[in-house]
């Protein structure tokens, strides 16, 4: 009965609120009984982002929240990867959340909820991303190194599209410029039970590996094996087709490779926010066996002030048999320290 009353009250308030809907009228009840009024922004990585009139935007640890009320529409995801859509209201007891959908309402255990994201109506409102810039200069050797890394993700109910750009170059007097540049586009379609399928397109080049240009197209199918408010672990397998142009040489033929990929994302609870992300890809060649490539990327992000971060990242591109005669080594390895902004 209490749940039915909450559903009716929330639904009627949405119809009657009129201009008041634009105001910060959402409510969060904490475990100690305190109630905070504001605007629910999102739940990600174990923290509820909540905007208030007098305290600005605050982050509340999810485990200390008893209930939420909001007349806006959200996408709610649980640990099994199931998505629910609707307004938010208290359940029949503490630590329960009622999702009031267009056709029916469901009561969820808050401990099993992983993310809550607003269903945004504008294109730009659905984009999240970051921009990181780093630079260093050594006067003794006249070495200038700079890096630019940026990514943007467009997410709706059943799919996401992500673009990522990375430019890393080193300039030194009387020596050729060394470079490692890449552009990647990933389209991901989400399935039931945490399964997903992805289409990939990428362009990259590396002076250390002797590659002036490489283009790749492929696909993956995988699953999120661990999905909680703090941790995500995914694995996927698929195939890619690539064509390379070695430095100072003509383009090679098409290379068909398998792709085995794993990603791990861990969020540290303490404030300021800290993210650890690891991405590992193994590409054994099928048409050019036994050539094998490994792509490894790891990053540590630490927030210094609101939306501004300091970032430490490590990358390593390995090729057992780099193409062309200009390859310097089998590894293209580097460490980057940069300042970033998230949006």
Whole-number pLDDT of residue 150? 92
According to the 3-state scheme, what is the secondary structure of the chain? CHHHHHHHHHHHHHHHHHHHHHCCCEEEEECCCCEEEEEEEEEECCEEEEECCCCCEEEEEHHHEEEEEEEEEEEEEECCCCEEEEEEEECCCCCEEEEECCCCEEEEEHHHEEEEEECCCCCHHHEEEEEEEEEEEECCCCEEEEEEEEEEEEECCCEEEEEEEEEEEEEECCCCCEEEEEEEEEEEEECHHHEEEEEEEEEEEECCCCEEEEEEEEEEEEEEEEECCCEEEEEEEEEEEEEEEECCCCCCCEEEEEEEEEEEEEEECCCCCEEEEEEEEEEEECCCCCCEEEEEEEEEEEEEECCEEEEEEEEEEEECCCCCCCCCCCEEEEEEEEEEEEC
- What's the pLDDT score for residue 268? 66
Q: What is the mean pLDDT of residues 185-210?
A: 92
Model pLDDT for residues 11-65, shown as the tens digit of each residue: 444 334 443 344 568 999 998 989 999 999 888 878 888 888 877 888 888 889 9
Q: Which two tokens stand for residue 288?
A: 């050019």
Q: What pLDDT, on a 0 to 100 scale, did the predictor assign at position 273?
A: 74
Q: What is the dihedral of CA 104, 109, 112, 116, to 10 degrees?
A: 50
Q: Using pLDDT thresholds of 50, 70 and 90, give the confidence band for residue 229.
A: low
Q: What percentage of residues in the chain have a pLDDT greater than 70?
A: 87
- pLDDT for position 1: 42
pLDDT at res. 270: 55
Token duo for residue 107: 């009561």
Enter the pTM of the model: 0.72
2: pLDDT strictly greater than 80: no
Q: What is the CATH number of domain 124-342?
A: 2.40.128.130
Cβ–Cβ < 8 Å for 188, 181: no
The larger pLDDT score, comparing residue 1 to residue 133, is at 133
**Dihedral angle over CA of 12, 9, 40, 158, nearest 10:** -70
Q: Where in the chain is the domain with CATH 2.40.128.130?
A: 124-342
Q: What is the mean pLDDT of the chain?
A: 84
For residue 155, what pLDDT band results from cuts at 50, 70 and 90? Answer: confident
The whole-number pLDDT of residue 303 equals 84
Percent of the chain with pLDDT over 90: 38
Is the pLDDT at 236 greater than 90? The verdict is yes
Highest mean pLDDT among 80-94, 120-134, 267-281: 80-94
10 pLDDT above the threshold of 50: no
């Amino acid at each position: 009965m209490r749940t039915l009353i909450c559903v009716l009250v929330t639904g009627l308030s949405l119809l009657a609120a009129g201009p008041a809907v634009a105001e910060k009228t959402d409510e969060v009840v904490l475990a100690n009984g305190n109630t905070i009024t504001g605007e629910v922004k999102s739940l990600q990585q174990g923290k509820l982002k909540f905007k208030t009139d007098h305290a600005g935007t605050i982050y509340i640890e999810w485990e200390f929240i008893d209930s939420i009320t909001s007349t806006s529409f959200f996408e709610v995801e649980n640990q099994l990867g199931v998505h629910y859509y609707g307004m938010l209201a208290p359940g029949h007891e503490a630590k329960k959340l009622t999702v009031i959908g267009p056709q029916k309402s469901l009561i969820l255990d808050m401990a099993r909820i992983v993310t809550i994201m607003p269903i945004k109506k504008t294109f730009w409102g659905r984009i999240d991303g970051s921009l990181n810039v780093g630079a260093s200069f050594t006067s003794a050797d006249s070495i200038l190194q700079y890096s630019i890394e940026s990514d943007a993700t467009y997410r709706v109910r059943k799919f996401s599209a992500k673009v990522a750009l990375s430019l890393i170059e080193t300039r030194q007097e009387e020596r050729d410029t060394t470079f490692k540049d890449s552009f990647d586009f990933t389209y991901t379609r989400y399935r039931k039970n945490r399964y997903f399928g992805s289409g990939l397109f990428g362009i990259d080049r590396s002076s250390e590996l002797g590659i002036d240009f490489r283009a790749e197209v492929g696909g993956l199918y995988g699953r999120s094996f661990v999905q909680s408010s703090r941790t995500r672990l995914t694995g996927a397998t698929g195939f890619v087709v690539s064509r390379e142009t070695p430095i100072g040489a003509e383009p090679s033929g098409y290379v068909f490779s398998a792709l085995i990929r794993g990603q791990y994302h861990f969020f540290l609870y303490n404030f300021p926010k800290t993210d650890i992300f690891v991405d590992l890809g193994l590409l054994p060649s099928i048409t050019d066996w036994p050539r094998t490539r490994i792509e490894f990327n790891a990053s540590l992000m630490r927030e210094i002030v609101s939306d501004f971060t300091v970032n430490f990242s490590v990358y390593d591109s390995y090729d057992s048999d780099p193409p062309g005669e200009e390859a310097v080594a089998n590894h293209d390895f580097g460490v980057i320290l940069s300042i970033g902004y998230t949006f």
